[in-house]
C-alpha cells in the first residue's frame, strides 16, 4: 500500500495546521479527514495539553456517521493511551475510519501503538508519508522525548585567542552584525534563554530576540536568570515581553527537569562563562555554538569557565557539525563526541 497524491496534499495541509498549535509538553499535530472520494470532510489540530487531539478535533466537526469509510491523514501516529484525553486510536475506530495515513511514529512508550491497534481492527494504515517534513516540525518535541529533558544549546562569542572580554571587562561587540543576527534568530527558536546573574549585573542584557531591523521576533524565549543575587528593579530583563524566571540553586539536572515539566523543549544558554562552564561540566550541553571573531584580546577573561578538566587526557572531545563564515566572523557548531563508557558524561 502507498499513499495517494490526494493524501499527500492532505498531509501538507495537516502539517500546516499543526503549526497553529502551541509548542509545549504535547506535540504539535494536525489532521485532515478525507471522504472515500478524496474530498476534505474536516480539519483539526491540537491546541495544547488537556485539549482534544488533532484527530478528535477534526472528527468532532462532523455529524455522527459522517466519517464512516473515511481516511484520516495525521502528522503523528494516533496515540493509544489515556491521559487527559482518551486514545485517538479508539476514537478513529468508533468513528468508522477505514484508512489512516500518518507521517511520524510516536516515540512514547505509553502513547505509541496506535498504528498496531488500528491494523489489528482491520484499518489500513500507511506510515511515513512526508516523514522528513513531519520530523522537522516535531524536532524539538522529539528531542525532548529522547533526552527526557529539554535540548540544551550552549553559546558563546570569543576572540581568536579564546577571550570573551578585554581585561577591563568590556565585551561589546566582539562579533559583527551578521553573527549577532544569527544569534537573535536562534534565540527566537528557543523556548528558554539562560543567563547568569553576573552577566545581568555587568551587561544588563534584554535577552530578547530581535530582527535585523530591531523589531521583536514574534516568538520570544522565556528569560531564566541563574544566581543567588537579586535582579535589580531597573534591569532590562524586567521589561522583557515574557515574564522571567529566577533560580538561585545550582542543581542543573533538577532545573532541566522543571523546565521539561513546564513543556519547554529548547534551552539556549548564553549568558556568561560561569554558566556556560557549569552546563559543560555537568555534561548537559547537546549543542555548542562558538562565534569566533578575528581579533586578539589576551588577558584573563576566558570564554568559558571551569569545566572540571585538569589534564589533557580528560579533555571533552567534540564532533564538528558545521563551520560557517558570518561576515568576518566564524561560527563553529559542535556536539559532544560519543563516549564508549556510558557511565561517563559528555
State the catalytic residues.
55
Contacting residues for 110 by C-beta, under 8 A, at least 6 apart: 81
Three cell numbers written together for 325? 563564515
CA distance 18 to 75: 8
Q: With beta carbons less than 8 A apart as the criterion, state whether 100 and 38 touch.
A: no
Q: Which of 20, 51, 69 is CA-nearest to residue 60?
A: 51
CA distance 46 to 44: 7
Strands 99-104 and 124-127, by their bridges, are parallel
Amino acid at each position: 500500500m502507498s499513499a495517494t497524491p490526494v493524501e499527500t496534499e492532505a498531509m501538507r495541509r495537516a502539517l500546516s495546521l499543526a503549526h497553529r498549535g502551541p509548542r509545549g509538553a504535547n506535540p504539535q499535530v494536525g489532521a485532515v479527514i478525507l471522504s472515500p472520494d478524496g474530498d476534505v470532510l474536516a480539519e483539526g489540530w491540537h491546541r495544547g495539553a488537556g485539549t482534544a487531539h488533532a484527530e478528535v478535533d477534526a472528527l468532532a466537526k462532523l455529524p455522527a456517521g459522517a466519517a464512516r469509510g473515511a481516511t484520516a491523514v495525521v502528522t503523528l501516529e494516533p496515540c493509544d493511551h489515556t491521559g487527559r484525553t482518551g486514545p485517538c486510536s479508539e476514537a478513529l475506530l468508533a468513528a468508522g475510519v477505514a484508512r489512516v495515513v500518518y507521517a511520524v511514529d510516536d516515540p512514547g512508550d505509553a502513547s505509541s501503538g496506535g498504528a498496531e491497534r488500528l491494523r489489528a481492527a482491520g484499518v489500513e494504515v500507511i506510515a511515513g508519508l512526508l516523514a522528513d517534513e513531519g520530523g522537522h516540525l516535531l524536532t524539538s518535541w522529539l528531542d525532548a522525548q529522547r533526552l527526557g529533558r529539554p535540548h540544551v544549546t550552549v553559546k558563546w562569542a570569543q576572540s581568536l585567542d579564546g577571550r570573551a572580554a578585554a581585561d577591563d571587562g568590556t565585551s561589546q561587540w566582539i562579533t559583527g552584525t551578521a553573527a549577532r543576527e544569527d544569534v537573535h534568530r536562534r534565540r527566537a527558536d528557543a523556548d528558554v534563554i539562560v543567563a547568569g546573574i553576573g552577566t545581568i549585573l555587568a551587561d544588563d542584557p534584554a535577552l530578547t530576540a530581535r530582527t535585523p531591523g530591531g523589531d521583536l521576533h514574534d516568538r520570544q524565549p522565556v528569560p531564566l536568570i541563574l544566581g543567588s543575587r537579586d535582579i535589580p528593579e531597573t534591569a532590562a530583563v524586567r521589561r522583557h515581553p515574557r515574564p522571567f524566571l529566577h533560580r538561585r540553586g545550582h542543581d542543573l539536572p533538577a532545573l532541566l527537569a522543571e523546565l521539561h515539566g513546564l513543556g519547554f523543549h529548547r534551552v539556549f544558554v548564553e549568558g556568561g562563562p560561569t554558566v556556560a562552564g557549569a552546563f559543560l561540566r555537568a555534561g548537559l550541553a547537546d549543542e555548542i555554538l562558538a562565534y569566533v571573531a578575528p581579533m586578539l584580546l589576551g588577558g584573563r577573561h576566558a570564554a568559558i569557565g571551569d569545566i572540571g578538566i585538569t589534564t589533557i587526557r580528560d579533555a571533552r572531545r567534540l564532533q564538528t557539525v558545521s563551520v560557517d563564515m558570518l561576515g568576518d566572523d566564524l561560527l563553529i557548531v559542535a556536539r559532544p563526541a560519543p563516549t564508549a563508557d556510558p557511565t561517563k558524561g559528555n
